[in-house]
Amino acid sequence: MNWLARLLGSSVGRKMLVALTGLALVGFVIAHMLGNLQVFLGPDALNSYAAKLKSLGALLWVMRGGLLAVFVVHVGLALKLAAENKAARPAAYARPGRVQSTLGARSMVLTGLMVLLFVLYHLAHFTFGWTHPEHATATEAVQTLTGPVNRHDVYYMVVMGFRQPLVSGLYIAAMALLALHMSHGVQSVFQSLGLNNRKYEDPIRKLAIGLAWVIFLGNSSMPVAVMAGLVDLPGA
């Protein structure tokens, strides 16, 4: 545990932890999006996938615990670093670097906090079923159309949620903020881990921006498809 104390005790170590946890979160966001995109394959595909995840039982809880820990470390240390940077640099940069001067770089704390708010709303919406409890449990009649009765009907929940323009608009706006956050965050990972090299600066920037666009377009395609009626309840 000595190494952990040393890592947390230095700002370079804290930067590395923010980078590594950020990388893990990017992995989660990609995997989560690929899983959710099965909404385009129909109710059975999405609901079977959700049921498979649930059947992992204790392992799923271990994964959820790990994800929560990674999230808390990422947000906590990133905020601490931002506060330290501000205290150490009361005046503006004398020589702003290229990466530092982008909109994504300047708004990291703001976009990060907005994404945090989105995740809290998202959990209240889909995981806990607090914001629309009527969507969390499909009626028996709908379940017979979308699959076995008593199976958690994620497809129904997603379609009913995204049928509301306000909810869909909120998700799309949140995805734009997440993409902006990631477009700078992914570039920073290389810098924080000491992997940045002038030669790779341009490909790294393109990779980060490309990935951010993939996440934005992939995730936004779901609310857009529901609102356009391309993804709907069977028989609707």
Q: Is 64 in the site for ligand HEM (CB under 6 A)?
A: yes
Nearer to ligand HEM, 99 or 157 (CB): 157
Kindly state whether residue 32 participates in binding ligand HEM, applying the rule CB under 6 A: yes
The nearest distance, CB 160 to ligand HEM, in angstroms, is: 11
Q: Which of 75, 99, 138, 154 is in the footprint of ligand HEM by CB under 6 A?
A: 154
| Nearest CA-CA partner of 235 in 136, 152, 143, 161 | 143
> Least distance (Å) from ligand HEM to the CB of residue 18?
16
CA atoms within 13 A on the CB side of 51: 14
Residue choice 49, 156, 171, 190 for contact with ligand HEM (CB under 6 A): 171
Phi/psi at 232 (nearest 5 deg)? Answer: -145, 175
Least Å distance, CB 35 to ligand HEM, is 8
CB within 8 Å of 194: residues ≥ 6 apart:
none
Distance CA 175, CA 157 (A): 19
Centre a 10 Å sphere on the Cβ of residue 72 and count the other Cβ atoms it contains: 11
Please say which residue, 128 or 200, places its beta carbon nearer to ligand HEM. 128
* Both tokens assigned to 122: 């998202």
Residue 155 touching ligand HEM (CB under 6 A): no
Contact range with ligand HEM by CB under 6 A, out of 76-84, 93-101, 121-129, 196-204: 121-129
Shortest Å distance, C-beta 183 to ligand HEM: 14
The answer to whether residue 23 forms part of the interface with ligand HEM (CB under 6 A) is no
Q: What angle do CA 167, 128, 226 make, to 5 degrees?
A: 30
d(CA 179, CA 183): 6
158 in contact with ligand HEM (CB under 6 A): yes
Candidate list 21, 36, 38, 146; residue touching ligand HEM; CB under 6 A: 36
Which two tokens mark 184?
């700078």
Chosen residue from 70, 216, 219, 226 binding ligand HEM by CB under 6 A: 219
Q: Which of 23, 29, 170, 224 touches ligand HEM by CB under 6 A?
A: 29
Helix (H, G, I), strand (E, B) or coil at 153: coil
- CA-to-CA distance for 49 and 55, rounded, in angstroms? 10
- Smallest distance, Å, CB 189 to ligand HEM? 16
Nearest to 171 by CA among 159, 179, 162: 162
Q: Which residues would be at the binding site for ligand HEM (CB under 6 A)? A: 29, 32, 36, 50, 64, 115, 119, 122-123, 126-127, 152, 154, 158, 171, 178, 219, 222
